[in-house]
Amino acid sequence: MKLRTAEIVGAGLSGLVAANRLAQLGWKVRIHERNAELRMFGAGIWLWESGLKTLETIGAYDSAVANARAIKDWQIRDGKGRILMSRRADDSDRLLLPPRADLYQALIDQAIKHGVEIVTSSVAIGAKPEGGIIFEDGSETSADLVVVADGAYSRVRESILGTKWMDFGAQVGIRMLIDEQEGDIHDTLIEYWNGPWRLLYNPCTDGKNYIFLSAPVDEERGRKIPIDKSLWIEKFPHAESLIHRFQESGRWDRLVNVKCRKWHEGRVAIIGDAAHAMPPNLGQAANTAFINVMALAKMATESDHIPDALRQWEQQQRSITNHVQWWSYLYGYVLGNWPTSLQTLRSDFVSAISKTEWFDESLNRGARHVPAGYVAPTARLTKY
């Protein structure tokens, strides 16, 4: 049987997972990264059951989560400290929170073990539907499968006119790691709301905790780096001890939604943020990318005709992705657009609806999804 080749644009999380899984299934894989080195910014990442099953399958689980906190509860609290939602996790419905850099390095190490070729300073500007990549220096390469994973602002996606729309929304997000102190909670995510402002505390790893902040995009002080600690203490006085530890090295981003006209063209597939960027309101963006990658690798490997496989893949995976993306958008809308004068009503509404079976299933549909081709491990690093 002819050795199939895959060329991947972008060595972020989704690109590396795709490289790992395809190589594991017998493909010859090369991944192109525009930067001169592989690097990941300092933050944590939520890994739900779907993402963890993906990591188990490709063999990256143990090293990715070796230093992670096992989360038992995700709480949303309003400005008065009232718990509006409590989403529990356990060993059959896991949520682990490692440093993002640990996950990234685990994927790199596993890709090398699988024989993936990683090329840095390789700037792709377009994809050819017949199977190939066009580079900034004028060179081209061909492959049986091209995977586009170069992020929300993907230049390669636009070379096949894949974008339908981009929505920058009304929020800006700031991520950072802060020093851990004695007495910090190790197993509970606490998300504080105050009007359209949010402070999310994430136990992450020994010595460090992960903070995510969001604020209205037109609030200049809210997106300021270094962070205006006095402003955030004013908004969240009950989190003052955390805010005093905020680092100057945090980074902020516009929270963006991306919708594609299509995820494929010929032998070209679009994945990750390039296909379905979403605000990190549910912590499911990367996990959703992973389950799409697993399905892509399985269907492309089992098919004799790659374009047909990609068409079937998109038809199969769009519905769950659209669901997660819509819920992420809706979550942000309720947070950022609810009238200030009706905050008590919002608290009552969220508290009531979060206790329903419909809400639980809808919120967690992506998180609990079993990826295509999942292979259960013979042993698992215990975290709970």
Instruction: Report the side by side order of strands in the sheet with 208-216.
Output: 83-88, 73-77, 188-194, 197-205, 208-216, 171-179, 251-254
DSSP type of residue 122: -
The residue among 128, 100, 122, 144 whose CA lies nearest residue 7 is 144
On the question of pLDDT at 194 being above 90, the answer is yes
Residue 230's Cβ-count burial label (10 Å; 0-12, 13-18, 19+) is exposed
pLDDT, tens only, 254-295 = 889 999 999 999 999 999 999 999 999 999 999 999 999 999
**pLDDT confidence of residue 168:** 86
Average pLDDT estimate for 170-190 = 93
* Among 14, 89, 86, 85, residue whose Cα is nearest residue 51: 14
State percent of the chain over pLDDT 70: 99
What is the C-alpha to C-alpha distance for residues 228 and 194, in angstroms, rounded to an integer? 17
User: Which residue intervals of the chain are DSSP H helices?
Assistant: 13-24, 49-58, 61-65, 100-113, 155-159, 229-235, 240-243, 273-276, 285-302, 306-337, 343-353, 357-364
Domain at 5-168+255-364: CATH code: 3.50.50.60
Average of per-residue pLDDT across 9-29:
98
Nearest-CA neighbor of 277 among 260, 297, 252, 296? 260
pTM of this structure: 0.96
> Residue 363: its pLDDT value, please?
96
Quick one: pLDDT band at residue 29, thresholds 50, 70, 90?
Answer: very high
Report the DSSP beta bridge partners of residue 29: 6
| Torsion sign (Cα): 360, 364, 365, 371 | negative
Q: How high is the pLDDT of residue 383?
A: 80
Q: What is the mean pLDDT of residues 115-137?
A: 97
Question: In the predicted model, what is the mean pLDDT of the chain?
Answer: 95
Q: Express as a percent the part of the chain with pLDDT over 90.
A: 88
pLDDT tens across 305-347, in order? 999 999 999 999 999 999 999 999 999 889 988 998 999 999 9
- Confidence at residue 195, expressed as pLDDT on a 0 to 100 scale: 94
- What band does 170 get if pLDDT is binned at 50, 70 and 90? confident
Q: Please report, in angstroms and rounded to a whole number, the separation of the first and last CA atoms in the chain.
A: 44
What number of other Cβ atoms are within 10 A of residue 166's Cβ?
14
Checking if the pLDDT of 380 tops 90, the result is no
- Which pLDDT value is given to residue 252? 80
Looking at residue 354, its pLDDT comes to 96
- Give the model's pLDDT for residue 1: 61
